[in-house]
């Protein structure tokens, strides 16, 4: 029986490893191709024939403005994540632990907005941004996204699992509701907050439709939009395009690998309990 179980586990792990390698092949190909010269595409070469010229082109060719696009992306992503780390937990805590008039209606509104694709309201958002003069500014790319209904719901689920006695004890010790939230409850939400940060980071960093709609001048491009314009201009230069793909995806992978443990904990803690 023990031998059969070991063989079964070995078979499962072998299948997982094979599937992992299979799913990694496209990204491995992307990284490999990004170091090639155009004449070596779709061929196997040694390290001596690889080059960093494709990456240098992005940062030295004035036609691409990659440093500016990268900076715009960092600023946009940073502001959105910070806003989400402030607004979403406060809203989630209020819906989970506070009693006020209209609470049920707000809960249903939060759930309902999760079901509406953002593409359906993009035109009204664009019109409103134009009316207040925010088009082609960082405000248009950040302010409407400082909260997300999905993350509010996720954090509400987590905060409902925290005993009310913990908050009541803090109140007895003289803390206000706001102080109890920031000093007692908020630190307990580390795992779901990291999960939210990873999802927000990936979604914002990779966002194309919204930044391309609300900021459509080259100096206001974010990295994804800017590199897409490069792709259109140099469609046949596969190594250069692949280098752009690596520049776009590598920060997300690094961010995830650093916080993957907390990400998994956050999903299990906030996505199941009701």
Domains of the chain, each with CATH number or no CATH: 62-270 (1.10.3720.10)
* Res. 228 pLDDT band, cuts 50 70 90: confident
Report d(CA 156, CA 94) in Å as an integer.
8
Residue 271 has pLDDT above 60, yes or no: no
Report d(CA 124, CA 119) in Å as an integer.
10
Residue 273 has pLDDT above 50, yes or no: no
Residue 7 in tokens:
């063989």
Rounded to a whole number of angstroms, the distance between the first and last alpha carbons of the chain is 39
Report d(CA 120, CA 114) in Å as an integer.
12
Residue 88 has pLDDT above 90, yes or no: yes
Residue 204 has pLDDT above 70, yes or no: yes
**What's the pLDDT at 272?**
42
Report d(CA 48, CA 98) in Å as an integer.
64
Pick the residue with more confidence: 63 or 157?
157
Model's pTM, two decimal places? 0.83
pLDDT in tens, 97-131: 988 888 899 999 988 888 888 888 888 999 999 99
């Amino acid at each position: 029986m023990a031998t059969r179980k070991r063989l079964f586990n070995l078979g499962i792990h072998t299948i997982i490893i094979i599937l992992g390698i299979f799913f990694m092949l496209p990204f491995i190909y992307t990284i490999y191709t990004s170091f090639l010269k155009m004449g070596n595409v779709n061929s196997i070469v040694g390290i001596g024939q690889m080059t960093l010229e494709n990456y240098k082109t992005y940062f030295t060719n004035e036609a691409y403005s990659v440093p500016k696009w990268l900076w715009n992306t960092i600023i946009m992503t940073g502001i959105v994540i910070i806003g989400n780390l402030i607004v979403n937990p406060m809203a989630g805590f209020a819906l989970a632990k506070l009693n006020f008039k209209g609470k049920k209606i707000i809960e249903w509104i939060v759930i309902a907005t999760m079901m509406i694709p953002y593409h359906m309201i993009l035109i009204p958002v664009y019109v409103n941004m134009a009316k207040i003069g925010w088009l082609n500014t960082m405000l248009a790319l950040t302010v409407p996204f400082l909260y997300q209904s999905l993350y509010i719901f996720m954090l509400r689920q987590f905060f409902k699992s925290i005993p009310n006695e913990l908050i009541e004890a803090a109140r007895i010790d003289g803390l206000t509701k706001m102080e109890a939230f920031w000093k007692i409850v908020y630190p307990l939400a580390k795992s779901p907050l990291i999960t939210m940060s990873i999802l927000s980071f990936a979604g914002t960093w990779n966002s194309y439709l919204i930044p391309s709609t609300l900021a459509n001048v080259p100096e206001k491009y974010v990295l994804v939009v800017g590199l897409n314009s490069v792709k259109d201009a140099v469609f046949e230069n596969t190594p250069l395009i692949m280098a752009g793909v690596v520049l776009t995806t590598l920060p997300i992978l690094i961010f995830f690998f650093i916080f993957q443990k907390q990400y998994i904990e956050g999903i299990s803690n906030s996505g199941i309990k009701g």
